[in-house]
Structure 1
Amino acid sequence: MEFLVDSVDKTLELGEKIGSLAQGGDIFCLTGNLGTGKTHITKGIAKGLGVKEHITSPTFNIVNEYHSGRHTLYHFDVYRVNDPDEIYAIGFDEYIFSDGISIIEWANYIEELIPDNYVHINITKMPDLGENIRKVTIKYYGKRYDYIKEIKL
């Protein structure tokens, strides 16, 4: 599925729709260059989950946990991870194989650790269409994510 978004608000709205349908144990892998909107879509997903805390990118912590929504949200940022063993050291498997929702920014950096079933969200700047235009491509792997087809923007 592809969506064109022309503002931060539209990116948040798309994320919120995803979050409102998300189920415990879901894994969302986000990719895209710096400044494309990965954290904004994460904020939207969190809002759709009912998370009340302020969402920030866990660049230096690797993972932030939010417990105020209908599911615990684990927000990973693996941009600064140099070795997949760093991720194992924080108990990565315990997070992603839990009943919580896992969002992994820069998931392409740890592809070998991602399970077979997940949602891949890639965000690309579209400068030919306008400075703020982003193409959000969503692919899912695993039948559990069929609900993604219901998302309309």
Structure 2
Amino acid sequence: MTDSVGFPLADEAATVNMGKQLATLMEQGAVIYLHGDLGAGKTTLTRGIVQGFGHQGKVKSPTYTLVEPYQLAKADVYHFDLYRLGDPEELEYMGIRDYFSPQAICVVEWPEKGGEFIPTPDLDITLRYEGEARAITINSLTERGKAIVQQLTSAQE
């Protein structure tokens, strides 16, 4: 069922704008996995998503706290960074399941460290370097994700 789409991201502003555009397409909640090397733009994309839901302040990576919650008028957005997670079972102790409600937007950096404690994503996104720029590949893994990718593709045409 996977639909996939890719785009070049010329700079940081393009990455933020892609996140904002994704936010406009996630009206019913979503689980998003972010993959990429350190510095590839995962937190920058998340900043765009959070800003797209109306957040005005700073968006920082929750590297040490594991999750940064944003209770916004349009949606509850939870930004996870599992880079420093020692054992996936730690997620169970922090009540990880409580964050993944059907209406919440959950963005997970380094999802491979979460094991079976995090649900299947609607969107599986990879950011990678292409010279001085970046590129993004977005794969849909659910019907909800497929609808988002189709809308995004239509918007880019």
TM-score by length of 2: 0.88
Match runs of 1:1-153 below 5 Å: 1-127=5-131, 131=132, 133-145=133-145, 146-151=147-152, 152-153=155-156
| CA deviation string 1:34-89 (max 9, x = no partner) | 00000000000111111233211111100011112400111100000010111111
Amino acid at match of 2:31: I
CA contact (8 A) 1:52 1:69 kept: no
Amino acid at match of 1:28: I
- Paired with 2:70 and 2:11, the residues of 1 have a C-alpha distance of 25
**How many pairs align?**
149
- Paired with 1:122 and 1:143, the residues of 2 have a C-alpha distance of 19
Are residues 136 and 111 of structure 1, via their aligned partners in 2, closer, same or farther at CA, if it must alter by over 3 Å?
farther
Q: What's the RMSD between the two structures over aligned residues?
A: 1.5
In structure 2, runs of 5+ residues without a counterpart are: none
CA contact (8 A) 1:121 1:137 kept: yes
Report % sequence identity.
30
Are residues 92 and 21 of structure 1, via their aligned partners in 2, closer, same or farther at CA, if it must alter by over 3 Å?
same
TM-score by length of 1: 0.90
Q: Secondary structure at the match of 2:56?
A: coil
In structure 1, runs of 5+ residues without a counterpart are: none
Amino acid at match of 2:141: Y
